Chain A
């Protein structure tokens, strides 16, 4: 089933995005007796019926274990799983499927790189470079391995607009840096990192770069070869897919040289008590029975995104973000947190003397879902001297009416605290 904007199997016209909303059953419901306005896609996006149907189809028709049986169902399950891998490979323009590792999500992908790539290289003279903008999942894994090895975690600063200060980050790169790990788009503020400059500079010092792409993949076209990132991590559930499935992209020669992360079935060729021969890529990093239905769902989500067209999605969300920013600025007491030159799908804000949770509760009462608090990015909040912000984030299924309802909802917040 194709997305609902067109009878033909072509990409959508931007004006047709309104039709596509009806593909998302979660969006089409009432919450607290109001039609739902879902502005929390940066935390988790909703799934279109096409994804839900594919998961259900796999579970009810094709399920078995992968790469094991010679029976028909095992073959079908393997085909579903590997077709999804191929789909993901093409979606981000990786060289081949050896570079696409299924994980449980971005956090798992980052931990894999931390333990398998970085940790063996670390000692007290070595450093890992991150930025002040990172999500906890791109901070804590590095802290853990630094504690274990005596290496240092160094942090590039951000400016008052909530952008990484690219030149300063680049100035911190030297040959003792084992890895640069940075987000593509900040989950808290929506700021887009100047990856090209950073990756070029890191490569001049022969330092690889891991990009946390969790907030980027469903909002812009990713061409991993053009980007030239060495590792790229993302999650299914932030790109219209299910939870519990994610991807680690890694350059093949780096993945080849890395030891396995976890041991178990599927990641081996031969097991003897005297020693085990590990499987080839990508299976070397996929121990145990994987999340096959998750992979099926993620594959279907990518089909959906492809049919909508990543460029169209970018334009659609950008129009909505600009409207949201303009409208927010008309409200007395609202302060926008994060005003990056290049910002995607997210706006954080505060209202004078009103805590973000109170904003969240009063909006929820009107059927409007936003995120409030620290957004798993406490250092960002600390930088701005705030306990938290309110954050509205957009996706493919949002429309202008959502933004209008959200803005109107904020009037109610201000009225209660007047």
Chain B
């Protein structure tokens, strides 16, 4: 019985309702008009592909941010959360946020259960991947692609 509980727990942590919800109904899914900055992110190991569209206004604020592509529940949900989180941030803030998130997800799991990684409850739903090392790249792909878009790099990959 104990086995089933612990098993369900980490699976439920990975596939929280919020993640499933975003995976099934991703926000800001599609192209942007007005000649946006684009970048493509590929995970060659699994074939996941994400395209990011980005508009930055004269005040250096992320005005538009959308994505499209194919991927697992984790990568789609993460991309969806990324668009809502980074929109309206200043370019440098968004860059820093994405870098922090990637490094946080790659750090070992914190001893304190449920410890917040980031300042957003929603983003912290991604924390579940820490129990699944092979899935961390699914969660970071869109954020990494966003950073490449900011740096005018057209294509990025999880394998370097």
Contacts of A70 in B (CB 8 A): none
Contact A387 B11 (CB under 8 A): no
Contacts of B48 in A (CB 8 A): 357, 387
Q: For the side of the interface on B, what is the size category?
A: 20 to 34
Contact B15 A416 (CB under 8 A): yes
Number of A-B contacts (CB under 8 A): 54
Q: How far is the CA of A374 from the CA of B71 in the complex (A)?
A: 12
Q: Does B138 contact A (CB under 8 A)?
A: yes
Contact B46 A358 (CB under 8 A): no
Contacts of A354 in B (CB 8 A): 73
Contacts of B49 in A (CB 8 A): 387
Q: Does A353 contact B (CB under 8 A)?
A: yes
Distance in angstroms from B70 CB to nearest chain A CB is 4
Contacts of B20 in A (CB 8 A): 416-417
How many A residues have CB within 8 A of the partner chain? 21
Contact B47 A387 (CB under 8 A): yes
Contact A355 B11 (CB under 8 A): no
Q: How far is the CA of A417 from the CA of B73 in the complex (A)?
A: 10
Q: How far is the CA of A32 from the CA of B71 in the complex (A)?
A: 25
Contact A357 B135 (CB under 8 A): yes
Chain A's closest residue to B70 (CB) is A387
Chain B's closest residue to A386 (CB) is B70
Contact A357 B138 (CB under 8 A): yes
Digit string of B14-30 for contact with A (CB within 8 Å is 1, else 0)? 11000010001000000
Contacts of A387 in B (CB 8 A): 47-49, 70-71
Q: How far is the CA of A353 from the CA of B49 in the complex (A)?
A: 17
Q: How far is the CA of A270 from the CA of B70 in the complex (A)?
A: 57
Chain A's closest residue to B4 (CB) is A33
Contacts of B72 in A (CB 8 A): 355-358
Q: Does B3 contact A (CB under 8 A)?
A: yes
Chain A's closest residue to B138 (CB) is A357
Most chain B beta-carbon neighbours within 10 Å: one of A361, A362, A365, A372 = A361
Contacts of B138 in A (CB 8 A): 357
Contacts of B45 in A (CB 8 A): 373
Most chain B beta-carbon neighbours within 10 Å: one of A32, A358, A374 = A358
Q: Does A27 contact B (CB under 8 A)?
A: no
Distance in angstroms from A103 CB to nearest chain B CB is 25
Q: How far is the CA of A357 from the CA of B138 in the complex (A)?
A: 10
Q: How far is the CA of A32 from the CA of B14 in the complex (A)?
A: 15
Distance in angstroms from B5 CB to nearest chain A CB is 11
Distance in angstroms from B1 CB to nearest chain A CB is 12
Contacts of A417 in B (CB 8 A): 15, 20, 73
Q: How far is the CA of A387 from the CA of B14 in the complex (A)?
A: 22
Distance in angstroms from A297 CB to nearest chain B CB is 27
Contacts of B46 in A (CB 8 A): 357, 372-374, 388
Contacts of A378 in B (CB 8 A): 47
Chain B's closest residue to A412 (CB) is B11
Contact B47 A353 (CB under 8 A): no
Q: How far is the CA of A248 from the CA of B159 in the complex (A)?
A: 31
Digit string of B36-74 for contact with A (CB within 8 Å is 1, else 0)? 000000000111110000000000000000000011111
Interface residues of B (CB under 8 A from A): 3, 6-7, 10-11, 14-15, 20, 24, 45-49, 70-74, 76, 132, 134-135, 138
Q: A32-B7, A358-B73 are in contact. List 17 more A-B contacts (CB 8 A).
A: A354-B73, A355-B73, A357-B48, A357-B135, A357-B138, A358-B72, A361-B134, A361-B135, A362-B11, A362-B15, A365-B11, A372-B46, A374-B46, A387-B47, A387-B49, A387-B70, A388-B47
